[in-house]
Amino acid sequence: MTKKQYSEKKLEKFREVIITKMNSVATEVGSIQDGINTSKNPNGALSQDSIYSVHMADAGTDSHEREKSFLFMTREDKYYRNLTVALERIESKEFGTCVICGELIPEERMLEVPNANKCVACKTKDKLNSV
């Protein structure tokens, strides 16, 4: 049985898409970090003096916004790491092959979700079995 895989030309196309997405994620993380570093009160509710200099509601809002930014950064970092794994799968010629059934994942899916390692049918079955 021959292992199904994408051609070198298509793998190169996927590599370009992944690198573009990685650059976009890196830019987004940089923007989030800049937003955190340049917030109007970087100490927010952490400073003892903040209860006198900033209204409690403002300090709470600042703290909430900072927490959201950290969550977004964490999500983007995880996505970036998944894209790195996708590049490794291209190098090993395993990219685009479902890890469960071994079939090729449709090109459209791989272009939209380049870090996918399961076809839609197997991913759906996998989710149903884990519930």
Residue of 130, 131, 123 lying closest to 106 (CA atoms):
123
pLDDT at 32: 85
Closest CA to 126 of 106, 98, 93, 105: 98
- Tens-of-pLDDT digits for all 131 residues of the chain? 457 889 999 999 999 999 999 999 999 998 888 877 776 554 544 554 444 556 667 777 778 888 888 899 999 999 999 999 999 999 999 999 999 999 999 999 999 999 999 999 999 998 888 87
pLDDT value of position 6: 92
- CA-based max dimension of the chain: 73
Q: What is the pLDDT of residue 9?
A: 95
Q: What is the pTM of this model?
A: 0.76
Q: How many CB atoms lie within 10 A of CB 97?
A: 20
pLDDT in the model for residue 126: 87
Q: What is the pLDDT of residue 1?
A: 46
